[in-house]
């Protein structure tokens, strides 16, 4: 039993299902029943089959029984995955004024706002506000998503009346900041965010943030940091600065990346640095998004001495040559003017090079004329191989760094891309599975095999294609992971051969040998006796995604097979089968429902292995 929130109603229901004689819950007790779901509950446990009962906005019961519990609304999940909404670890936007439906469409139900040094803001108030004021406005107007808010370091600085020109705080200023932060934490923020590449965080000394980290730690919060630099040659120093705050509070690296870093090895080095901090007792985590471009204002290209509160006009008048020199060097380092794509009007969709050409200027002059506040866009400064390593680490959570309406695909695609891109780039493309995809376009639908319902009398009725192909002709807002793919027999066979070869095919390695071994080794303990659909498969255990034969067939009625074979089967009487002992693979599509009433699987296996031989 896995109740996620315990209230009086939940406790009653939990007690109920453990006592057979107990009365069933009354209809009025539940608003929603989702039955027959494969529940991934977020605790790290494997998926398990269960029914979920919801009362109001609270998950009341998760249980394998109670599939007929009365509820106002019933949804049959039919084995689909059911998970709690995702938590996006780094989010921008105004949860009171803007629609966060792009997040909901990705499965995100909780966003972490107040990032990069800026607290959540109220559109109605030009100045920054204490969190309590924002929270009561949010309560009054309602928000679409759950919000975990951080106190922004820069906003705290402003609320403490410290001008941006101040670099070194005196004792009084430090005390004022700590008081503002303490009030915010008491009002419900989860900790502090810093934006040390932005004004005013860029001017802060490490001691300033250290003092605030003490407040955060005392409240049990976390310091999330857009670090002082993400550049290849200075990111280690940035991590040191953040880790020092870890003496007082949990610390977290926002949108982990190495700007200008190259190759997988660079990613591994950085993870080793993070791990060494953790080994030393610092509670250090990170989040990342799966893209090779950041998105931010063009101020990031300008030197500190040209940023507010400095008067930009006089800088241009007095130090234009020096500024031009700086911008040219910086843009060259960042991949040149083609590697920056505007997302803001009037240049949205144009690279810096194109926009400058359109204006008839050199890109450096164009940037100088725009100034640090002159726009925002995507900066292609992240190496994909490095980012893949960082993103794949278990201590790195997923974030979008997106917002409603942001012109960067991370705002709409981050969570779907996890599946779509990683399946395509790491499995389908290298394996040359060219006809495997989530969505089958109209023009290719005639290639889909029909599905038939077979009655006990043997009468076949063709299922309406609309129903049979619904899954593969529907654009899903959220790519459904490893299932829901349409494939051809040839593509499937390539996949079986890759597994048969211990994870590689044609000299291309798709899976580590040890991963294949885990997939094909039973992980079911003998003490697990409730095996749902496994018993019908004979004497098998369960690896990862595959039934795994652990003992020879017990009698002639059981499906033939050898110890060590692994397979999955299911609707519509399909078999996907690998026998590494005899180096055999097979993919059998029968297209009949319900599952294999004709015993075709058994006939097929008998034909391969010959008559049953009693185990000695």
The residues of the shown chain that bind Zn ion, judged by CB under 5 A, are 116, 226
Instruction: Report the DSSP beta bridge partners of residue 112.
Output: 148
Q: How far is the CB of 197 from Zn ion (least distance, A)?
A: 8
449: left (phi over 0), alpha (psi -120 to 50) or beta: beta
Which is nearer to Zn ion, 16 or 150 (by Cβ)?
A: 150
Q: How far is the CB of 195 from Zn ion (least distance, A)?
A: 6
Assigned token pair, 547? 């039934």
Pairing type for strands 574-579 and 584-589 reads antiparallel
Q: How far is the CB of 296 from Zn ion (least distance, A)?
A: 7
Q: How far is the CB of 401 from Zn ion (least distance, A)?
A: 6
Which is nearer to Zn ion, 116 or 208 (by Cβ)?
A: 116
Which is nearer to Zn ion, 34 or 253 (by Cβ)?
A: 253
Helix residue ranges per DSSP H, 221-311: 235-245, 264-279
Q: How far is the CB of 226 from Zn ion (least distance, A)?
A: 3
CA–CA separation, 179 and 200 (whole Å): 19
Which is nearer to Zn ion, 153 or 226 (by Cβ)?
A: 226
DSSP SS3 for 310? coil
Which is nearer to Zn ion, 219 or 253 (by Cβ)?
A: 253
Residue pair 508/587 in contact (Cβ under 8 Å)? The answer is no
DSSP SS3 for 257? coil
Residue pair 285/397 in contact (Cβ under 8 Å)? The answer is yes
Which is nearer to Zn ion, 116 or 565 (by Cβ)?
A: 116
Which is nearer to Zn ion, 29 or 116 (by Cβ)?
A: 116
CA–CA separation, 487 and 106 (whole Å): 25
Pairing type for strands 540-542 and 547-549 reads antiparallel
Which is nearer to Zn ion, 133 or 285 (by Cβ)?
A: 285
Assigned token pair, 375? 């726009």
CA distances from 230 to 209, 226, 608 (A): 18, 8, 59
Q: How far is the CB of 199 from Zn ion (least distance, A)?
A: 13
Q: How far is the CB of 227 from Zn ion (least distance, A)?
A: 9
Q: How far is the CB of 255 from Zn ion (least distance, A)?
A: 6
Assigned token pair, 397? 């959570």
What are the CB-based long-range contacts (under 8 Å, 24+) for 2-5?
2/39, 2/41, 2/43, 2/45, 2/50, 2/62, 3/59, 3/60, 3/61, 3/62, 4/41, 4/59, 4/62, 4/84, 5/58, 5/59
Which is nearer to Zn ion, 294 or 413 (by Cβ)?
A: 294
Residue pair 285/402 in contact (Cβ under 8 Å)? The answer is no
Q: How far is the CB of 225 from Zn ion (least distance, A)?
A: 9
Tell me how many degrees the CA angle 6-7-9 measures, rounded to the nearest 5.
115
Q: How far is the CB of 542 from Zn ion (least distance, A)?
A: 42
Q: How far is the CB of 290 from Zn ion (least distance, A)?
A: 16
Instruction: Report the DSSP beta bridge partners of residue 193.
Output: 152, 224
Q: How far is the CB of 403 from Zn ion (least distance, A)?
A: 11
Q: How far is the CB of 128 from Zn ion (least distance, A)?
A: 17
Which is nearer to Zn ion, 69 or 253 (by Cβ)?
A: 253
Is cis: bond before 200, omega within 30 of 0? yes
**Number of helical (H) and strand (E) elements in the chain, helices listed first:** 17, 27
User: How far is C-alpha 436 from the geometric centre of its chain's CA atoms?
Assistant: 23
Angle between helices 363-370 and 352-359 (to 10 degrees): 90
Which is nearer to Zn ion, 116 or 504 (by Cβ)?
A: 116
Which is nearer to Zn ion, 176 or 379 (by Cβ)?
A: 379
Which is nearer to Zn ion, 226 or 494 (by Cβ)?
A: 226
Query: Which residue lies nearest Zn ion, judged by its C-beta?
Result: 226
Of 86, 95, 217, 224, which is closest to residue 151 (Cα–Cα)? Answer: 224
């Amino acid at each position: 039993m896995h109740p996620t929130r315990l209230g009086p109603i939940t406790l009653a229901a939990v007690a109920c299902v453990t006592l057979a004689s107990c009365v069933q819950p009354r209809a009025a007790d539940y608003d929603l029943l989702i039955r027959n779901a494969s529940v991934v509950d977020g605790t790290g446990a494997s998926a398990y089959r269960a029914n979920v009962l919801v009362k109001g906005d609270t998950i009341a019961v998760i249980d394998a029984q109670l599939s007929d519990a009365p509820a106002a609304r019933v949804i049959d999940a039919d084995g689909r995955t059911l998970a709690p909404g995702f938590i996006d670890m780094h989010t921008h936007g105004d949860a009171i004024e803007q629609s966060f439906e792009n997040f909901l469409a990705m499965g995100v139900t909780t966003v972490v706002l107040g990032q990069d040094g800026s607290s959540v803001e109220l559109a109605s108030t030009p100045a920054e506000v204490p969190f309590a004021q924002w929270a009561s406005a949010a309560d009054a107007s309602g928000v679409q998503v759950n919000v975990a808010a951080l106190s922004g370091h820069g906003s705290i600085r402003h609320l403490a009346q410290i001008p941006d020109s101040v670099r070194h705080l005196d004792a009084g200023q430090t005390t004022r900041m700590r008081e503002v932060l303490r009030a915010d934490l008491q009002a419900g923020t989860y900790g502090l965010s810093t934006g040390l590449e932005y004004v005013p965080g860029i001017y802060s000394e490490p001691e300033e943030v250290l003092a605030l980290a003490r407040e955060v730690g005392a409240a049990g919060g976390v310091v999330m940091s857009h670090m002082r630099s993400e550049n290849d040659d200075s990111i280690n120093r940035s991590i040191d600065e953040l880790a020092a705050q870890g003496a007082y509070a949990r610390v977290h690296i926002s949108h982990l990346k190495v700007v200008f870093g190259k190759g997988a090895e660079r990613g591994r080095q950085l993870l080793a640095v993070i791990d060494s901090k953790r080994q030393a007792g610092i509670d250090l985590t990170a989040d990342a998004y799966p893209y090779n471009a950041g998105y931010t204002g063009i101020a990031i290209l300008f030197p500190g001495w040209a940023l507010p509160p400095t008067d930009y006009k006089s800088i241009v008048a007095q130090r234009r040559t020096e500024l031009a020199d700086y911008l040219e060097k910086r843009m060259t380092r960042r991949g040149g003017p083609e590697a920056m794509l505007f997302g803001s009007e009037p240049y949205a969709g144009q690279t810096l090079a194109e926009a400058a050409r359109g204006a008839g200027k050199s890109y450096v002059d164009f940037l100088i004329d725009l100034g640090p506040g002159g726009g925002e866009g995507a900066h292609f400064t992240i190496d994909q191989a490095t980012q893949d390593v960082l993103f794949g680490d278990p201590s790195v959570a997923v974030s979008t760094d997106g917002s409603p309406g942001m012109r960067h695909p991370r705002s709409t695609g981050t969570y779907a891309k996890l599946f779509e891109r990683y399946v395509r780039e790491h499995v389908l493309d290298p394996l040359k599975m060219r006809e495997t995809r989530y969505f089958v376009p109209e023009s290719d639908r005639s290639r889909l095999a029909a599905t038939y319902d077979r009655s006990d009398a043997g009468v076949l009725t063709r299922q309406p294609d609309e129903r049979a192909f619904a899954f593969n002709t529907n654009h899903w807002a959220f790519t459904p992971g490893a299932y829901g793919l349409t494939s051809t027999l040839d593509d499937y066979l390539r996949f079986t051969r890759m597994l048969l070869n211990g994870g590689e095919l044609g000299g291309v390695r798709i899976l580590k040998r040890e991963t294949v071994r885990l997939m094909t080794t039973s992980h079911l303990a003998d003490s697990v006796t409730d095996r749902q659909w496994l018993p019908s498969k004979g004497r098998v255990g369960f690896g990862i995604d595959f039934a795994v034969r652990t003992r020879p067939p017990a009698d002639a009625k059981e499906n033939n097979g050898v110890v060590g074979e692994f397979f999955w089967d299911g609707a519509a009487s399909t078999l996907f089968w690998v026998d590494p002992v005899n180096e055999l693979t097979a993919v059998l599509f029968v297209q009949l429902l319900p599952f294999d009433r004709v015993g075709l699987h058994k006939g097929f296996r008998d034909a391969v292995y010959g008559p049953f031989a009693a185990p000695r």
